[in-house]
Amino acid sequence: MRIVDRVRGNVRVEIRGVFPEKILNACAMQAVALWDLESLDSYTFRATAEERQLAELTAIAGQAMCDLKVLRRQGGGSTLRFFRRRLLLLAAAALILGLLLFSSLFIWEIRVQGCERLSQGQVLRALADCGVEQGTYWPGLSMDLLRSRMLTEMPELAWMTVNISGSRATVLIMERQEKPEIYKEDAAADLIAGKTGIITRLSVLNGRALVQPGQTVLEGDTLVSGTLESLSNPPRQIRAQGRVMADTWYELTAVCPLDVGQKGEIKSRRSRFALKIGKRRINFYGHSKMTLDGYDTIVHEYNMGIEGLFALPISLLREEKIRYRGSSETSEPEQEMGAALRSALQERIDGEIVSSQISVDRGEGLVYVTLFAQCNENIAVPIETQGASAPP
């Protein structure tokens, strides 16, 4: 009933007079409905009536020598007048809502998840080649066709899918695992020295050892033979397996400038603004083609949209230009460069670094850091030989 009253429109009035009861009797006789009566004192009461009967109620109050005051109007004509005065605002709101609904049919933001060896840039370029980029009409996409084209374009992918929520596309990928080294158990192979060194320990699982601890071997020498001799049968070819630990020596050198420019205090700071609509950029500053040499640039991008609800192809860009007071200082990077050389060497060997020594030399504005290291590592490398093993 309250909803019907709101649609029809109602008014809250205050009536004051010597004989307010006459108004109630007259309203009852002329079918003027009053409700929510509230008595303030002996001469004043408040009531609610339909808006269309306000003129009739005013006439009745005048005949009874009472004053009528309108306190509040709800619904009906007041609502229509409210919307009539704000027609332009409602039209703008409807237009914005329509644009949002229309914009949600296009992809304006792409996120890639699952990258380990591949970069997001590689995946985004492959998606663009397959027809998925900013501004793509996503209801016209065939996910099965897109998945097939992506797997063809990028053999590194084992699986991928695209989830679209509003104007955001989330690309989930799974990279293909590297195949392990596969070899036939019956394939004949020898173990040769991959590096020059002095043998310290042998652990032969299969085959015949040709070297002993303390022996010096050169790169390419056979360490463990896959050929087994027999007094009663012809030689048998097998796959040699094992580890051959040897002492090896390395010499690595790194070079860097001796004088390095350091950033001092901030000398000046300035900001420039731009508007990005899709792939088009509108700069709000002059001489946009000129670059500011000597300034560091930090770009802040503020996307127009609501996280998790919708995204728009509009973003505000703020370029912050910062200039520092430069200062040249003499660097002493021996420890950092030595640690970097040791780390690089450790990644190259299958073993450990036994001892190391750093040599530093300076000249012509450069510093040379050389690492001399002794390592103990596995130098055995399998190499297949012709022929296969004969059945025992």
Task: Please tell me the predicted confidence (pLDDT) of residue 289.
Answer: 57
Nearest alpha carbon to residue 377 among 346, 343, 350: 350
Does the domain at 106-175 match CATH 3.10.20.310? Answer given as yes
Strand order in the sheet with 157-165: 109-113, 168-175, 157-165
**pLDDT (0 to 100) of residue 390:** 39
pLDDT digits (tens, 9 = 90+) for 202-234: 999 888 899 999 999 999 999 999 888 877 788
Per-domain boundaries in the chain: 2-80, 106-175, 187-243, 260-329
Digit-coded pLDDT (tens) for 110-153: 889 888 888 888 999 999 888 888 888 888 888 888 888 988 88
Candidates 6, 16, 15; CA nearest to 73 is: 6
- pLDDT for position 392: 36
Q: Is the pLDDT of residue 180 over 80?
A: no
Q: State the pTM of this model.
A: 0.47
Superfamily of domain covering 2-80: ACT domain (3.30.70.260)
For 32-49, what is each residue's pLDDT tens digit? 888 888 888 888 888 888
Identical fold between 2-80 and 106-175: no
